[in-house]
Amino acid sequence: MPTSPFVATSRDDSKAYGRPFITGGTEPWNIPGVGVGGVGTLAVVLNTDYYSPFFVDTPLVVTALGTEVTTGASGNMRIGIYRANRHCQPVGAPLADSGNLDTTAAAVKTYTPGTPIYLQAGRYLTIHNQSANITLRIATVFGDVYNVLRDIIGTSSVLSARRLARTYAAFPTPGSEWNDPVYSNSSSYSVFLRISKP
C-alpha cells in the first residue's frame, strides 16, 4: 500500500486559491473568498473599529494591505488583520497593524509589512479605525461567506458592518469584540489585500 497516495490539499495547486493576474503586471487588490459585485463609498465614524470577515481555504501570503480615502479629513487611520473565531469575532494578537496612515488627503493608502504575512486556512477579519470622520471606497459584495440576515427579514436586512466604538489607537491584544452590527442591502469591504502566493 503506498504511503502517500494523494497530494495534501495545501500543496495541490489545482485546489489553491487563485486570482486574475497579468504577467508583468501589479498584483491586484483582493478579498479572499468574497465575490465583489460593485464599488461605492461609505462615510465611516471616527473612533470606531470596522471588521469585515473573509475565509482562506488554502494557505496564502499577503504582501500588502490597502484602502482608499475618497474624502479626507485631518487625522489618521489604521488597517490590519485578525484571526477570527466561528462567530466572526477577533482572537489573539493582530496579524497586521499598519500604524498611522494619514487621512488628510484623498488617496489610496497602503501598508507593506516588513515580512509578508502567511495565512493558513481559516477564518480572518480585516479591521480599520480612524481618528476623523472620513469617507472610504468600498467593495459591495454578493459572496460574503458570512452573510446573514437580521432576525426580522426585510429590506436593509443584510449584516453589512460589524462595528465597535473604541478610541483610535493601536489594535489591541486580544482583539476587541464588535457589538454594534449595521444592516443594509449588501455587505461592504474597505480593506483589501495583495496576495503573492499561491
Model pLDDT for residues 90-109, shown as the tens digit of each residue: 999 999 999 999 999 999 99
Using DSSP's 3-state secondary structure scheme, residue 10 falls into: helix
Over 70: is that where the pLDDT of 144 sits?
Answer: no
Specify the CATH number for the domain of residue 174.
2.60.120
Question: What pTM was computed for the model?
Answer: 0.88
- Is 21 within the bounds of a domain? no
90 grid coordinates: 477577533
In a domain, 95, yes or no: yes
Give per-residue pLDDT as tens, 54-104: 999 889 999 999 999 999 999 999 999 999 999 999 999 999 999 999 999
- Total structural domains in the chain? 1
For residue 153, give its domain range.
30-197
Q: Within a domain: residue 11?
A: no
Phi-psi region of 52 (alpha: psi -120 to 50; beta: other; left: phi over 0): beta
